Amino acid sequence: MRSLGSNKLCPLCGEVPTLIRHDFDWWYVDCERCGHFQITFEARTNLDNLGPDHKTKLSAYCRRVSGGDQRPIIDHENIEELIALLPNYTPREQLDNLLHVLGKMSPELGKESQFVLVRDYPLVSTTGGNEIDFLMATLREDGYLRPFSKPAQATLTLKGWERLEEIQKAGKQSNRAFVAMWFNPSMNTLYDDAIKPAIVQAGYDPLRIDRHEHVNRIDDEIIGQIRRSRFMVADFTGQRHGVYFEAGLMHGLGRNVIWLCDEKELQGMHFDVRQFNFIAYRSPSEAKEPLYYRILAIEGEGPGVFTKPSK
């Protein structure tokens, strides 16, 4: 590989990265703001035709999913798909996202968060300085952050930690991922070797209703658990009507559904879900990694079992 000569800026955020190099058809970029990723020459050229909001979404995607052994890939075939993956968060969701990131980056109770605005704003999926300043000010007005003279400084109050505990447990901001799928024994390998470990690795708690103890009617329990879940992983292999219903309910709540299906059955999908971006797989081993990265891209890293830092 040879170092890049004239252009030394990150193609997503325009800042100077810690590394940028190319080899044949690929650029390799290590950026403190956007993470580690690789992009084709053609896709990089296409970036010039994208607006700043689209580049911000690509930056957020790469920052969220980078950190493993493999770099996220941007090419001319998937660039629009990656942009579409990230939802448009409401102001309330952005406030909760920021509070969550500040909490995860706090070394202990009463200590300032290590969040750095110019470096870490893609973790909140915002466009940067002005939005973060507004969100920070709102969190202070709500009593979730201590008042400081410098806008970028942030230390969570006890009320802020209590808010984090609340949003972990409640619906869209909980750490629960509802799994809708065919409960035939032939599907157990897919769940045990791909769906469940991908969800857990991303920091969320998977719930498959047939493995969940309850005393309610099954349909009432399903609806209740869907309402309490942050997002859904729906596998349509077997074309079960229940999966269509559950995915429709979650979609109707305005929450994210991640769509999976065995590649052999994609052509048989109902017309009303064909518009969605399915993860098609030929074996469980092919499903785990793309599911994991899709979860990180759409929901970000989950809290796992959230606990307050000790003093």
Question: In 3-state terms, what secondary structure has residue 10?
Answer: coil
Gap between the Cα atoms of 237 and 33, Å rounded = 38
Gap between the Cα atoms of 287 and 274, Å rounded = 19
Helix (H), strand (E), coil (C) string for 289-301: HHHHHHHHHHHCC
| Predicted TM-score (pTM) of this structure | 0.63
Q: The tokens of 48 are what?
A: 């010039």
Closest among 292, 300, 291, 138 to 230, alpha carbons compared: 300
Each of the 311 residues of the chain gets a pLDDT tens digit; together they read: 333 444 688 988 888 888 888 888 888 999 999 988 989 988 888 887 887 788 888 888 888 776 555 678 888 888 887 777 666 777 887 898 899 889 989 988 889 999 988 888 888 877 777 888 899 999 999 999 998 756 667 999 999 999 888 766 666 667 889 999 999 999 999 999 999 999 999 999 999 987 665 444 445 677 778 878 889 999 999 988 788 878 887 876 778 899 999 999 887 766 556 667 889 999 999 999 999 999 998 888 887 644 444 44
